[in-house]
Amino acid sequence: MCQMNSKGIFKEMMGATNDSEKRKISKGRRDLASIQEACAGGSLGVGGGLKKGPWTSAEDAILVEYVKKHGEGNWNAVQKHSGLSRCGKSCRLRWANHLRPDLKKGGFNPEEERRIIELHAMMGNKWARMAAELPGRTDNEIKNYWNTRIKRLQRAGAPIYPPEVCLQVLNGSRDNQKSTLPTGDAHHHDHLQGDDLEIPDVKFKDLDLDREYLSYSPKLLDIPASSLLKQGIGSSRPYNFKIPTIYPFKRLRGSETMFPGPDVSVSGALPIFSHYMDNTNENVAEPFNLPSITFPYHNTNDQLPSGVLPGSHALLNGNSSSSEPISEAMKLELPSLQYSETQPGSWGTPTSPLPSLESVDSLIQSPPTEQTHSDCLSPRSSGLLEAILYESQTLKGSKNSPQQTSDTSFMPADVVESSPMNPCNKTKWEAHGEPNSPLGHSAASVFSEYTPLSGSSMDEHQSVETVLGCSSMPETVNQDRTHYFIKKELSTQRDFTRPDALLDLGWFGHYNEHGKDQSTLTDAIGALLGEEYSNGY
């Protein structure tokens, strides 16, 4: 009888069509299961007589009543005091994910989805932290959403992080480095002290990257990327996204949040490449005359805008795919530094050095290899922010290091002794057990290869600069180190006069397919590297 009634209810619920309703249906289905289970008397788990599986409404009621009386916590006591045949963990989970009164019901709204993407870009798979930033949402919800989304994007061959999120995070990281943190968490400050991490802006005039568009305005996210590109630059509205802190190295407890305010605005950002080049020539990016950046991704809807190749190199989207949809069987490809000389005629068609989405997927789903390090500010963490911060820090150091010109002894052995172009060489990140970064093997891998680490063991209490090896070295050293690396690339494998060369580095979104402005590009490289390079070419 119970089952018949339930079926009737279930059938009625099947009429709903939208996502929110579907979720309700789904929940209804589970409620149905619970009802049925309750009718059947439920089932007890094997061990200890504790019940497993779906919760019944009766159990929920018991748990709610218990929490009302005793408050949250001491979950193991629930069984004793209420007679509920559930383990403490199960009770806590049930309460946290379903019974808490402050939970939001229904699907994520676009704003929440956008926040999830951004937060993931910054945090990686830190679901609990992300949940702390999304009131009423649970880590489990976010995790499920993300995993589903990843699968969807993976199939579509689309980048996981919208370019603007990359930019936002990048810029946010920069701002973060400059800002005084309002969190009041002294612990966080410990990781932010150090040298001036300012990275001056560079204007990418020809990129039509309007900072306005890169702002955090939610409306932006409803604007198709294609239309964004049409609208051009015009605003000088300041970007005020401040990541107030590098997220805690310890897990958040309770309601600890990463951001103090209810709303966090996200600024636009500049490509990593601009950071790199900036110090050398403030507008050095300009000569590149990059025609556009392809936005292969329409933020909130997970849709590929029409006319945009799913595999376009998204700016900073190291996880962007090649020009073809990524097959499921496709495994992690070579680092983006690879330029395939074996593919003549691939001019204008980057040889897909970027990792497939699958690799990103594995990034997202693969557990950290060492918990101790997972929270360190290093590329080992899976957040885009971390990767970018890492790069920024590295670049910051790299930009200011003239003393190092020929002193390769400073460099990590694997950098000095092995070509970063060598596909057999794993990046630092890979070597440390995290084969992927949110940037995949684009810019991130470029720099990670060149980033000295203070050691394989990075104590989580190390300061950022120590971890990144920035402040501990003379700034002048790093600049020439970068110089060295670029030159090394130029002299060894990469033809930077080819427009896709930098694409392979993941620095630019989408260069002119026809290789226009090669000379301009060369000039820019020359400007970047100095006459030595220019003359040499």
Partner DNA sequence: AAGTTCGCCAACCGCCTATAT
Partner DNA sequence: AATATAGGCGGTTGGCGAACT
Q: Which is nearer to DNA, 22 or 426 (CB)?
A: 22
Binding status of residue 136 toward DNA by CB under 7 A: no
Binding residue for DNA, selected from 148, 231, 301, 519, defined by CB under 7 A? 148
Binding status of residue 488 toward DNA by CB under 7 A: no
Span near DNA by CB under 7 A; candidates 109-117, 134-142, 259-267, 433-441:
134-142
d(CA 395, CA 392): 5
Binding residue for DNA, selected from 140, 226, 466, 497, defined by CB under 7 A? 140
d(CA 382, CA 236): 32
Span near DNA by CB under 7 A; candidates 19-27, 391-399, 431-439, 466-474:
19-27
Phi-psi region of 395 (alpha: psi -120 to 50; beta: other; left: phi over 0): alpha
d(CA 372, CA 461): 10
| Count of residues of this chain found to bind DNA when the rule CB under 7 A is applied | 65
In whole angstroms, how close is the CB of 342 to DNA at the nearest point? 31
d(CA 176, CA 243): 5
What is the dihedral angle through the alpha carbons of 217, 289, 479, 170, rounded to the nearest 10 degrees? 10
Secondary structure (H, E, C), 419-482: CCCCCCCCCHHHHCCCCCCCCCCCHHHHHHCCCCCCCCCCCCCCCHHHHHCCCCCCHHHHHHHH
d(CA 70, CA 55): 20
**Torsion sign, CA atoms 348, 349, 352, 356:** positive
Span near DNA by CB under 7 A; candidates 277-285, 368-376, 486-494, 516-524:
368-376
Q: Which is nearer to DNA, 183 or 382 (CB)?
A: 382
Binding-site string for DNA from residue 22 to residue 41, where x marks contact by CB under 7 A and - marks none: xx-xxx-xx--xx-------
User: Within positions 223 to 252, which residues make up the interface with DNA, using CB under 7 A?
Assistant: 250-252
User: Within positions 66 to 85, which residues make up the interface with DNA, using CB under 7 A?
Assistant: 72-77
- The one-character DSSP state at 249 is S
Binding status of residue 533 toward DNA by CB under 7 A: no
Binding status of residue 155 toward DNA by CB under 7 A: yes
In whole angstroms, how close is the CB of 85 to DNA at the nearest point? 10
| Burial (CB count <10 Å: 0-12, 13-18, 19+), residue 184 | exposed
Residues 486 and 376 sit within 8 Å (Cβ to Cβ): no
d(CA 454, CA 369): 18
Binding status of residue 191 toward DNA by CB under 7 A: no
Binding status of residue 10 toward DNA by CB under 7 A: yes
Query: The tokens of 319 are what?
Result: 């996880």
Binding status of residue 151 toward DNA by CB under 7 A: yes
In whole angstroms, how close is the CB of 51 to DNA at the nearest point? 7
Q: Which is nearer to DNA, 88 or 348 (CB)?
A: 88
Q: Which is nearer to DNA, 59 or 212 (CB)?
A: 59
In whole angstroms, how close is the CB of 148 to DNA at the nearest point? 3
Q: Which is nearer to DNA, 34 or 482 (CB)?
A: 34
Span near DNA by CB under 7 A; candidates 151-159, 221-229, 333-341, 492-500:
151-159
Binding status of residue 259 toward DNA by CB under 7 A: no
In whole angstroms, how close is the CB of 24 to DNA at the nearest point? 8
Q: Hey, what amino acid is at 92?
A: R
Span near DNA by CB under 7 A; candidates 9-17, 335-343, 345-353, 462-470:
9-17
d(CA 46, CA 54): 15
Binding-site string for DNA from residue 82 to residue 121, where x marks contact by CB under 7 A and - marks none: ----x-xxx-xxx--xx--------x--------------
Per-residue burial over 364-391, b if 16 or more Cβ lie within 10 Å, else e, is beeebebeebbbbbbbbbbbbbbbbbbb
d(CA 8, CA 514): 62
**What is the C-alpha radius of gyration for the chain, rounded to an integer number of angstroms?**
25
**Which among 332, 331, 528, 308 is positioned nearest to 426, based on CA atoms?**
332
- The one-character DSSP state at 326 is P
Q: Is 252 helix (H, G, I), strand (E, B) or coil?
A: coil
Binding status of residue 128 toward DNA by CB under 7 A: yes
Q: Locate all alpha helices (DSSP H) within 313-437, ordered by sequence.
A: 357-365, 371-374, 384-399, 413-417, 428-431
Binding status of residue 426 toward DNA by CB under 7 A: no
Q: Which residues here bind DNA, judged by CB under 7 A?
A: 10, 14, 17, 19, 22-23, 25-27, 29-30, 33-34, 45, 51-55, 72-77, 86, 88-90, 92-94, 97-98, 107, 125-129, 139-141, 143-145, 147-149, 151-152, 155, 250-254, 364-368, 371-372, 382
